[in-house]
Amino acid sequence: MCVLCRVARTGIFAVLLSACAHQSLHSVKPLPPADVFIPTIETMKHSVAPVVCLDQDGPTANIREREGTAFFISPSGEFLTAAHVLDEIKTHNHPCPVIAIYLPTASWRPEMPEETVQWFPFHTAACVIERAQDVAKCPLVEDLSIPRLGFHFKIQPVQLEFSDQADGTQVAFTGFPLEARDPFTSRGGIATYRGSADTTQIVLDQTAWPGASGSPVYLSDGRVIGIMLARGMEQGSGISIVRPVRWIRPILENSRRVSGRK
């Protein structure tokens, strides 16, 4: 075989090899983008707690009822919840022996049916309550920023976002619906805003189960834009109602102010 023939065949082979490699490179499907909500949801589990009524017997306590959800806004354990959660827990248990939140001693572990929890009481008389906005801010009797022997759960206060988000923005909310012992997370989108000059609501295109009231509603980076208030009923059964945090700025700034009925 002549040299020219060998070069020609080698050149064809190189072209074919290059074409195959190019085709193979473009036939590899790119990996789907990582779900940015997943790590945020795991972090948010350190920011929420159920609001409960307890029967106390010395150092131990039994949960009489789980009524709603709270989320922490300070390292000491100061939290926000829906005002109607506090009203209902007192009404249903007339009176409730001990109103409290509880946390696992280490972290939420749904695979452990008997995980150890610690409960932390609070007094509704010390709460700042705005019933027009259906929001309450409460301090705990015990400061969570002070280490407790045998208690390793570290709370993560949320970061609040006071700006409005565009319709269609994806959000999540984490709480304790359906008397759940461990946190549940749902995801949806902002459908619209509605309200008046005195109050505004965010409407989500995702329903909230009973007990989710007081849950933080947050963006993919964890910034909380609102607090869950209610699920839609009848024709609105597929939606839920959220109070934007920018509408509760006064309750965050005042040390104590109770308005409406007690």
The listed CATH number (1.10.3720.10, 3.20.20.70, 3.40.190.10, 2.40.10.10) that belongs to domain 159-246? 2.40.10.10
Tokens representing residue 70 in the block = 């709270």
Q: Mean pLDDT of all residues in the chain?
A: 86
Q: Per-residue pLDDT for 16 more than 50?
A: no
Domain boundaries along the sequence of the chain: 38-138, 159-246
Query: What beta strand segments (E) does the chain contain?
Result: 48-57, 60-72, 79-82, 98-104, 117-121, 128-130, 135-138, 159-160, 170-175, 184-195, 200-204, 216-218, 223-231, 240-244
Which pLDDT belongs to residue 112? 84
What average pLDDT does this structure show over 47-76?
92
> Rounded to the nearest 5°, which phi and psi values hold at 26?
-85, -15
Look at the pTM and tell me if it is higher than 0.95. no
The listed CATH number (2.40.10.10, 2.60.40.1120, 1.10.10.10, 1.50.10.20) that belongs to domain 38-138? 2.40.10.10
81-85, 98-102, 251-255, 257-261, range with the lowest pLDDT? 257-261
* pLDDT tens for each residue of 142-184: 999 998 888 989 899 999 999 999 999 999 999 999 989 899 9
